[in-house]
Amino acid sequence: MTLKDKLQPGSVLVAPGVFDMVSARCADSMDFAAMYMTGFGVAASHLGFPDAGLASYTEMLSRVEAIAGGCATPLIADGDTGFGGLLNVDRTVRGYEAAGAAAIQLEDQEFPKKCGHTLGRRVIPLEDMVKKIQVACAARASSDFLIIARTDARTALGLDEALRRAEAFQAAGADILFVESPESEEEMATICRSFDRPCLANMVEGGRTPVLSKARLAEIGYQLAIYPVTGLLAATAALQAAYGTLQAEGSSANATVPMYPFDDMTRLMGFERVWAFDERYAD
């Protein structure tokens, strides 16, 4: 079943944020309906950079190829601003689809973009983003490859402008609408009431939008919820705790942070195939 088929009114698809192959393999083993390749997480884990437009198309595409190629769960991939003008958007959509992604997210920020839950974001003229959406829709080889249109207008220009933009994105052919960083449940409900396309909720712990239960998101009207940094924040907290014990005691013997079993880790990373291969072809 495609991601497009899974989107249904009255239910919410939960997509955990994945940022490397460990997080992707872990999520892929848990029967999620979709996964979300987070630009914030890729920039942080792959490059050690902030999510500020510093990751290139080539670097992001390599992550899409690795994650989509190594996992069965449909992958929603962050495409930032399309990495440039209209020709860049065309190339980005074609590249992400060929790499195996199920959907691409494109946003209306000026380049270089910034994380959607930080200040200082500026958006391009509406007509320019509409053209990007039109180019993205024309560039894809299959309508099963979904175009997610995001507007970052809410924080600087207000909810009315964000809604106006999302309405134009819907008319341009976007499959899923993503109004970034609403600041209350009332705003979230207004967003979902305003459109007849699936709407996406961005659940960022510590961000500008309330983090709600799955049931409440469904009640409001969302059909897709991404959790882009949940895994990244949890993993970083675990690393801080484990490394803190090492620094303080010089050993992991008394570490209190939960440890994933080593045998399970070898299997998660595919060692069973290596063992079977060696057994078959060993001299």
Supply the pTM of this predicted model.
0.93
pLDDT exceeds cutoff 90 at 98: yes
Which residue, 215, 145, 204, is CA-closest to 176?
145
Mean pLDDT, range 188-212, rounded to an integer: 96
Instruction: For residue 281, tell me if it sits in a domain.
Output: no
Mean pLDDT computed over every residue of the chain: 94
pLDDT at 116: 54
pLDDT interval class at 23 (50, 70, 90): very high
Residue 270 lies in a domain: no
Residue 165: CB partners within 8 Å, gap ≥ 6?
A: 108, 123, 126, 129, 151, 153
- pLDDT tens-digit series, residues 102-137: 999 999 998 767 665 666 678 999 999 999 999 999
pLDDT of residue 117: 65
* ∠ CA 21-27-33, rounded to 5°: 125
For 227, the enclosing helix (H) or strand (E) is strand 224-227
The 10s digit of each residue's pLDDT in 232-256 is 999 999 999 999 999 999 999 999 9
How many domains is the chain built from? 1
Residue 167 belongs to what domain range? 3-235
Give domain status of residue 248, yes or no.
no
- Report if residue 217 sits inside a domain: yes
Is 153 within the bounds of a domain?
yes
Give a yes or no: residue 278 inside a domain.
no
> Average of pLDDT values for 167-179?
98
Q: How confident is the model at residue 267, as a pLDDT?
A: 95
Residue 35 lies in a domain: yes
Query: Is position 103 within any domain?
Result: yes
Rounded to an integer, the average pLDDT of 163-188 is: 97
Q: Are 78 and 18 within 8 A, CB to CB? A: no
What is the pLDDT, as a whole number, of residue 111? 77
> Any idea what the CATH number is for the domain that residue 128 is in?
3.20.20.60
- For the segment 38-58, the average pLDDT, to the nearest whole number, is 91
User: Is the separation of the CB atoms in 228 and 204 below 8 Å?
Assistant: yes
Report the C-alpha gap between 30 and 32 in whole angstroms: 6
